[in-house]
Structure 1
């Protein structure tokens, strides 16, 4: 029986996804109450029909929160009104434009030297650890740290350490997309409450300059001309800070680990311009960090030949869509120069496509290029066991990328 949180599914979801695509491409899963949509065309159809399939459930907690955890969040004033990922109201386009302005092509191009500088700085410490101990875990020391530091610099965020932001962000993912026990939910709620309070203080304060990310949200106006309320501004920050660091860190970890296991690739990267970018794109197709996303059917409809009831909760299998053999021949093969690789749905599609897609691509490519150049002689340290994996409903990545000399 399919269990989306089981160790077997998290470690190797592809046999399950292949079977779903062949036997039940639109499948009701009684364990989660979700309709699993696994074929590329069906996933894309849902993404491109926002008036028929609403985003309202995108940030709902997968595991119901106990009263004790809800009280912790309530004390912090925690609320996530419609802002970005969960916003199906008329306020979404304008708010999205405000956010996207900080991640457009011009800003990403200008950010590449920043990414390069931060990557080199972080890898200097990694190199020192490898020289001193013989090994280093690139997940915690590099993949997570790089996007957090870059995001803080690009958005003008201060007053908190990268380690704290990473801890808060990871706790948010686990609380809302995981299956933690009640005791663990309480611990996570404390961290998420701290995160929310810090964001609220930052948005309410007058220290953020108008040209900063938080400053831009403070000056944003809704369609009726009213200023954006504090709670919605905080909700937008909450989503952007998590997506901009945790999910990008997960992408970098996957990119590094897959590159280190591909014969000869690590050695080719420093001398082949464009190879890092091509590899990142192929990893996004086959192993995106955001593996699924949710939608709600606004009315009864038909999808993939299956009748979907009004209010049905859909789980779009982004991971499966990139491995659909009808769109990507021999999907199990890592082919960096696959002709249609950019057609993948790792960042969504249409008007709700991830606004930070270009920055995430740039960070992952620079991270891979610089790591292969600075750590040319390293190899992946397997130790005879599979790496620990992050296995949340919508997020999957290796939690261990230990290399040695």
Structure 2
């Protein structure tokens, strides 16, 4: 299928593109369509990044770790001021190459350690845990709906569920879910946002606390051997030496954020989009496979991880553009899911579409997200449980659009306001 021609009179001018601007965060699709059609490898002066937007080019980059290194994957997008750097330095903070930012020969072994905790057997065994926690949270949601007539599913359900699940699966203790969420969200904003210097200092304090807690937790010899931290402590590098504490902390830093913050963002998007789709909510409770199919379409069209970074290891041609060594790339994962060369009728949500698994929401190749199966399962269980427990749910009428998380690589509704359906009011049908 060939890409449709864009109306150049209505497509947004790339000179006005602001990856952090409200226009892009609210509705990135016109910009992503323009990038794919007009400039599939485009230099963005605002960030200094080369934006790569076509599915085939992104896939090529991810499958070639020799030419395209992951070293910059977790670098701060906005340079940190001296005051924030001092706070982090006093806490001993540094993000050692561990998983997403690791292109060395230590990566395969570390990935195997992580994958062992998120393999198909463990994810299947975790379903009762996910269902139990979801039921517990939804009981509180139902009570709040009864007493106040409204609720925010993001704050009361989507955000908390994956954090509690991760803590149980990985044996994490000594910290509350609310604190872990606050630390993780601060880390995302500090390293992937465009905060003011004053806000960066506030975030650095929280990230420093997070790092100090991780360091103390990794150093504590009381971790059980079959726990996640116990497995990291027992891991040996390719030369036979024990895994150093800084790299173990780096692995925990990535897994704890990805395992709960980004999964919470996925659940928020899944719930919000399902409630907005006419006739869908009533079918989700009992129609086999529908929740899973909806989650997959959301991952294709509106993934929580919207982009990821790479750096060229040598001069290379990509998408018809000659890039120098050291070029900083931003792979537009979200845009690749709407590439008409791969996904016909890409702007329409179509559960069970045959080509859906070709999306790149979890990456591909050696750095593909090791927690993909767990994230998919949590989102589907959460969606089905909410539809069963709250069959009369509807989006609440609000005066303004819900706030959106709009970081460089992360996007999701920060509020899913809902209310009970009025008595006698029937849900809209397809």
TM-score, normalising length from structure 2?
A: 0.94
What residue number does 2:186 align with?
171
The secondary structure found in structure 2 opposite 1:302 is strand
What residue number does 2:10 align with?
none
What residue number does 1:191 align with?
206
The secondary structure found in structure 1 opposite 2:117 is helix
What residue number does 1:326 align with?
341
The runs of at least 4 consecutive aligned structure 1 residues that moved more than 6 Å come to none
What residue number does 2:231 align with?
216
Offset of residue 387 of structure 1: 1.0
What residue number does 1:342 align with?
357
Residues 1:117 and 2:132 aligned together: yes
What residue number does 1:158 align with?
173
Residues 1:227 and 2:233 aligned together: no
The secondary structure found in structure 1 opposite 2:77 is coil
What residue number does 2:219 align with?
204
Query: In structure 1, what is the Cα distance between the partners aligned to 2:171 and 2:352?
Result: 36
Q: Match for 2:374 among 359, 373, 379? A: 359
Offset of residue 75 of structure 1: 1.0
Q: Match for 2:300 among 274, 279, 285? A: 285
Offset of residue 51 of structure 1: 0.9
Query: In structure 1, what is the Cα distance between the partners aligned to 2:238 and 2:405?
Result: 39
Deviations 1:214-271 (A, max 9, x none): 0000010000000000000000000000000000000000000000000000011112
Query: In structure 1, what is the Cα distance between the partners aligned to 2:234 and 2:327?
Result: 37
Runs (5+) with no aligned partner, structure 2: 1-15, 421-430
Offset of residue 382 of structure 1: 3.4
Residues 1:261 and 2:276 aligned together: yes
Query: In structure 1, what is the Cα distance between the partners aligned to 2:397 and 2:289?
Result: 28
What residue number does 2:40 align with?
25
Query: In structure 2, what is the Cα distance between the partners aligned to 1:153 and 1:273?
Result: 27
Deviations 1:27-57 (A, max 9, x none): 1111111000000000000000011100000
Query: In structure 2, what is the Cα distance between the partners aligned to 1:129 and 1:73?
Result: 40
What residue number does 1:94 align with?
109
What residue number does 2:60 align with?
45
Let me know the Cα RMSD of the aligned residues.
0.5
Query: In structure 1, what is the Cα distance between the partners aligned to 2:65 and 2:121?
Result: 28
Residues 1:140 and 2:155 aligned together: yes
Query: In structure 2, what is the Cα distance between the partners aligned to 1:341 and 1:115?
Result: 25
Deviations 1:275-310 (A, max 9, x none): 000000000000000000000000001011111111
Residues 1:73 and 2:88 aligned together: yes
Offset of residue 273 of structure 1: 1.1
Q: Match for 2:384 among 365, 369, 380? A: 369
Query: In structure 1, what is the Cα distance between the partners aligned to 2:377 and 2:222?
Result: 29
Residues 1:393 and 2:405 aligned together: no
Query: In structure 1, what is the Cα distance between the partners aligned to 2:258 and 2:92?
Result: 22
Offset of residue 18 of structure 1: 0.3
Residues 1:61 and 2:110 aligned together: no
What residue number does 1:12 align with?
27
Runs (5+) with no aligned partner, structure 1: none
Deviations 1:325-383 (A, max 9, x none): 11001111000111010110000001110000000000000000000000111101131
Query: In structure 2, what is the Cα distance between the partners aligned to 1:361 and 1:33?
Result: 33
TM-score, normalising length from structure 1?
A: 0.99
Query: In structure 1, what is the Cα distance between the partners aligned to 2:168 and 2:97?
Result: 27
Offset of residue 207 of structure 1: 1.6
What residue number does 1:382 align with?
397
Query: In structure 2, what is the Cα distance between the partners aligned to 1:86 and 1:202?
Result: 22
Count of residues in Structure 1 that have an aligned counterpart in Structure 2: 405
Offset of residue 384 of structure 1: 3.8
Deviations 1:112-167 (A, max 9, x none): 11101110011111111111100110001100100000000000001110000000
The secondary structure found in structure 1 opposite 2:418 is strand
The secondary structure found in structure 1 opposite 2:243 is coil
